[in-house]
Amino acid sequence: MTAVNLDQELGLIVAPGSPSVAADQSLSLIVEQRLVPAIIYNYIDQQLALLVVKRIVDLVQLVGGSYQSFLGNPLANGYLLMSLTNPVEIYTLGSDVIEGNDIRFKITLDSNGNVSQTPAQYVFSTSSLTPACTYTVQAYAADGTTASAPQIVTVPNTSVAYDVSQWIPTNPAF
Amino acid sequence: MATDQTITGTFVDPQGNPLANGYLVLRLSHDGQSGAPNQVVAGLTQRITLNSSGTISPAVAIYSNSGLLPANTFYLVRVYAADGTEVVPLSQITIPNTPTPVNLATLTWSSAS
């Protein structure tokens, strides 16, 4: 077993012969776990290599929105339901695996109709998911009244919180 | 930015009498994004009451359709007498962002039923 000098959560290298991953080896098995953004590559000078890669999808914090009626009244203490539009398999940082076709988040709004910050609200970034995914998001009033039509939206993988007021509705009539 | 328009108007019944204490029921046709930006939802029906002269008083602040994305949203409106009798059936109006305020009587009301 060779030493592992990788900047990763998990690394396993099986390499008969030379004890170094940087060495010129005839066979290696590397199991990697990397955080998103998942630019996964290795520089291996070998005759044969097998790479098993597990992608972990980060959560992105949502903020803003300023959900309101056409008279400017905030959707106070309402909420958003966000559903991934197609089945995906997600490995979370906590080592859980979420898989299925009904992965949903309930995002609470504050008294101003903005995404609550206490506690902060997170969803999976759609740009980190494979296959490509979008969310269907629908807004509800505090009493559960449906306040918006279902919208198809994306959540980019950003290093800062994502402001959902950037979404431009593309839905048919309510 | 909050609402970008103010609506006014006076309503009369078929006999020409002021629609005293009547009311309008409005709904936005589509969800929209205003320039702020804000998310303006279409699912919430709102009531605007008229005074004893059948007038929207005070004037009501509202999002204009021309201030929303995507383009081509409109409002669905019904007008009722004080006793709940429908005076104007479901109609469609488009509220511009100018002039401000805008008198609803100056807009084109088309049937939406």
Average confidence (pLDDT) over B5-19 = 95
**8 Å CB contact between B8 and A145:** no
Contacting residues of B for A149, CB less than 8 Å apart: 30-31, 42-43
Cβ within 8 Å of residue B99, ≥6 positions away: none
* Amino acid present at A75: L
**Best of B39, B44, B75, B94 to disrupt the A interface by mutation (most A CBs within 10 Å)?**
B39
Give me the residue from B30, B41, B46 closest to A173, CB to CB.
B30
Contacting residues of B for A75, CB less than 8 Å apart: 41, 44
Domain residue extents for chain A: 10-56, 59-165
The whole-number pLDDT of residue A48 equals: 58
List the pLDDT tens digit at each of the 174 positions of chain A. Answer: 344 444 444 445 554 443 344 444 455 555 555 444 444 455 555 555 555 555 567 789 999 999 999 999 999 999 999 999 887 767 665 656 666 677 889 999 999 999 999 999 999 888 878 777 899 999 999 999 999 999 999 999 888 999 999 999 987 666
Q: Three-class SS of residue A164?
A: helix
ipTM over 0.85: yes
Nearest Cα neighbor of B61 from B71, B43, B46, B44 is B46
**8 Å CB contact between A65 and A114:** yes
Query: Burial level of B86, CB count in 10 A (0-12/13-18/19+)?
Result: exposed
**Best of A71, A112, A163 to disrupt the B interface by mutation (most B CBs within 10 Å)?**
A71
The whole-number pLDDT of residue A26 equals: 54
The whole-number pLDDT of residue A135 equals: 93
Q: Which domains does chain B have, with CATH numbers?
A: 5-111 (2.60.40)
Contacting residues of A for B75, CB less than 8 Å apart: 70
The whole-number pLDDT of residue A129 equals: 80
Q: What CA–CA distance (Å, rounded) separates A69 from A82?
A: 20
pTM: 0.78
Contacting residues of B for A81, CB less than 8 Å apart: none
